[in-house]
């Protein structure tokens, strides 16, 4: 306790010393004065705290501690009061501020609600206006739709009438094209053209005029401007041509009978007789060129492009194809049988696309599927039952599809894989024996796709576009451009290989007859050698024919065929080489050179001499 009291005294001294030093520094007192003052203070302190007073220091300190505590409490209370005042003031301010913010928020909400209400009112107004405009738009749209429907209906009716007129004109045209060559043939069969001119000069002049009139109708058909008047005109022309045919038949028969009687009678004195003038006919069966009535005009003869017998055959097949297409026309136009037509196509495409020379059972399976379909039996394709008799014209429709498909395989598949021609040919020959109608369709589509099988070099008509001309010659057009010559020749060789395979391939066992046999090959070979060679195509067709069927022709015709080959080497080949621009003539020369060395043609790959299934 004494030590603590001494500590306090020391502290008090130091405080007092600091105060005096500070005051002296301010007042300018020297150090000596400060030292004297320190002694006085020390004495005072010692006097104040001297025990001579009889009051213990602890009591003084206690009293002072109590005073200090009272001062601290009062200071704390004052501080606390300030805090309470500040807190109450803050609470009051916060309340007022909250009230202000709440009022501001309420006012903002009211304003926002008012804006929303105004926006909704504006939106309702705009929606109402839009709805009115929309209703008006829909009304106008409905009016336009009705107007368009009426216009479309009128247009459809007009198109329907136009199509009917075109079909009628087409039917007349087909009949005219079949009848006009017959008239020309009748005229050419007359033994004395001068005698015929004497008795039927006006009719002879009238004949080409009829063709010109019919050409005018056909031009209107192509431009879709044909009317009932034109149909009546075509019917009248056809009727007049039939009448002329009967007249020519009577006159020609009479003249020929007189000539025959004159031949049988004793020969008359020699008289100079003028040679009958030749009659020129058209370059193609469906559009006949004017007859050569004016000898000063240069006309093309039909024999420069096709033989007369071949022309008759070609025309008959095209007429047959046209008539067959009309038999199922209602099925093609019936949209309710869309799925049926799709199923029929699938029943044909799947087995035909799968044909290959894997083994005999594979070929037999594809034949059975196609035979059942054409016989009206149910076939199963991908677990689906298909029967062609679901529509009365289903079987003719399927035959037409199958014929097109086989010819297309020659175009696409056989042109790239020549060996496959024989597996297709054996199935075609077998089906041809079962369904002669199918065989005629296949032959017609072959001639249509490749007229060089007739053989027939179709010339260009007057006023005919290049595209129409090339398409009739077998070319294809893509984006308005005609296909390249090498691609065209490749497609034609595929069809030709299939045709040659049909001439020599045996059908299935139990069928001994080849429907389209080597006699047709002989006819083709002799016919093409009579015509003027054409650029590339003649040499190409002749090369494929000799390469594919030459060995069979030699076996069947022997010395006669060898004479034909000598004609090819000595006369035809030099002329053909002049018309070839690529390797077609060279390939034909190499083939004939190889034949000369070996003395025979080799059998083509894939050929079998007997039926294999």
pLDDT tens digits, 380-390: 987 889 999 99
- What is the structure's pLDDT at 126? 85
- What is the structure's pLDDT at 233? 83
d(CA 606, CA 420): 7
Structure tokens at 607: 């050929």
Percent of the chain beyond pLDDT 70?
Answer: 85
**pLDDT above 60 for 505:** yes
**pLDDT above 70 for 469:** yes
d(CA 373, CA 438): 13
**pLDDT above 80 for 570:** yes
- Ranking 286-295, 472-481, 487-496 by mean pLDDT, the lowest is 286-295
| DSSP-assigned letter for residue 549 | H
Calculate the alpha carbon distances from 512 to 122, 357, 545, 550, 581 in Å. Answer: 93, 21, 23, 21, 43
**Alpha-helical runs (H) found in 265-388:** 308-327, 329-333, 338-353, 360-375
- What is the structure's pLDDT at 166? 77
- What is the structure's pLDDT at 36? 55
> Is residue 407 within 8 Å of residue 495, measured between CB atoms?
yes
pLDDT, the chain, mean = 82
pLDDT digits over 405-419, tens only? 999 999 889 988 999
Q: Which is nearest to 274 in space by CA: 197, 192, 167?
A: 192
d(CA 603, CA 594): 14
d(CA 46, CA 56): 13
* pLDDT-derived band at 213, boundaries 50, 70, 90: confident
- What is the structure's pLDDT at 55? 65
**pLDDT above 60 for 185:** yes
Percent of the chain beyond pLDDT 90?
Answer: 35
Q: Could you tell me the sign of the dihedral formed by the alpha carbons of 324, 328, 330, 332, in that order?
A: negative
- What is the structure's pLDDT at 278? 32
């Amino acid at each position: 306790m004494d030590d603590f009291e001494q500590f306090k005294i020391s502290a008090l001294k130091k405080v007092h010393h600091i105060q005096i030093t500070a005051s002296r520094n301010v007042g300018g007192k020297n150090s000596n004065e400060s030292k004297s003052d320190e002694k006085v203070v020390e004495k005072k302190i010692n006097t104040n705290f001297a025990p001579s007073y009889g009051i213990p220091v602890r009591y003084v300190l206690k009293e002072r501690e109590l005073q200090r505590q009272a001062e601290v409490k009062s200071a704390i209370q004052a501080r606390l009061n300030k805090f309470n005042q500040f807190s109450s003031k803050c609470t009051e301010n916060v309340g007022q501020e909250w009230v202000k913010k709440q009022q501001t928020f309420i006012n903002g909400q009211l304003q926002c609600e008012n804006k929303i209400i105004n926006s909704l009112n504006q939106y309702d107004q705009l929606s109402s206006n839009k709805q009115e405009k929309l209703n008006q738009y829909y009304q106008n749209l409905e009016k336009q739709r009705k107007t368009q429907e009426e216009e479309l209906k009128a247009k459809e009716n007009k198109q329907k009438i136009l199509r009917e007129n075109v079909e009628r004109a087409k039917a007349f045209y087909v009949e005219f094209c079949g009848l006009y060559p017959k008239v020309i043939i009748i005229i050419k069969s007359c033994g004395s053209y001068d005698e015929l001119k004497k008795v039927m000069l006006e009719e002879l002049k009238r004949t080409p005029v009829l063709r010109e009139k019919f050409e005018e109708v056909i031009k209107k058909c192509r431009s879709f401007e044909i009317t009932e008047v034109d149909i009546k005109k075509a019917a009248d022309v056809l009727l007049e041509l039939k009448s002329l045919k009967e007249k020519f038949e009577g006159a020609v028969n009479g003249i020929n009978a007189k000539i025959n009687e004159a031949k049988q009678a004793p020969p008359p004195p020699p008289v100079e007789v003028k040679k009958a003038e030749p009659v020129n006919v058209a370059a193609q069966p469906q559009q006949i060129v004017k007859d050569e009535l004016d000898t000063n005009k240069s006309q093309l003869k039909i024999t420069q492009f096709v033989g007369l017998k071949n022309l008759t055959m070609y025309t008959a097949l095209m007429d047959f194809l046209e008539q067959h297409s009309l038999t199922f026309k209602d099925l093609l136009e019936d949209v309710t049988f869309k799925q049926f037509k799709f199923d029929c196509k699938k029943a044909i495409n799947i087995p035909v696309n799968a044909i290959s020379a894997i083994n005999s059972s594979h070929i037999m399976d594809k034949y059975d599927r196609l035979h059942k379909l054409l016989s009206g039996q149910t076939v199963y394709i991908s677990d689906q039952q298909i029967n062609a008799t679901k529509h009365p014209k289903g079987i003719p429709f399927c035959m037409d599809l199958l014929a097109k498909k086989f010819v297309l395989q020659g175009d696409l598949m056989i042109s790239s894989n020549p060996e496959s021609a024989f597996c297709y040919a054996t199935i075609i020959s077998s089906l041809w024996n079962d369904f002669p109608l199918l065989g005629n369709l296949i032959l017609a589509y072959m001639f249509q796709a490749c007229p060089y099988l007739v053989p027939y070099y179709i010339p260009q008509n007057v006023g005919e576009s290049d595209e129409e001309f090339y398409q009739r010659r077998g070319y294809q057009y893509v984006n308005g451009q005609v296909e390249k010559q090498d691609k065209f020749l490749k497609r034609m060789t595929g069809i030709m290989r299939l045709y040659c395979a049909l001439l020599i391939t045996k059908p299935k066992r139990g069928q001994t007859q080849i429907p389209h046999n080597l006699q047709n090959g002989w006819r083709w070979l002799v016919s093409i050698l009579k015509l003027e060679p054409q650029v590339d195509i003649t040499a190409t067709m002749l090369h494929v024919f000799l390469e594919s069927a030459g060995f069979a022709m030699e076996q069947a015709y022997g010395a006669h065929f060898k004479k034909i080959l000598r004609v090819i080497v000595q006369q035809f080949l030099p002329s053909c080489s002049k018309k070839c621009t690529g390797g077609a003539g060279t390939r034909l020369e190499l083939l004939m050179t190889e034949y000369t060395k070996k003395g025979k043609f080799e059998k083509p790959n894939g050929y079998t001499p007997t039926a294999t299934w």
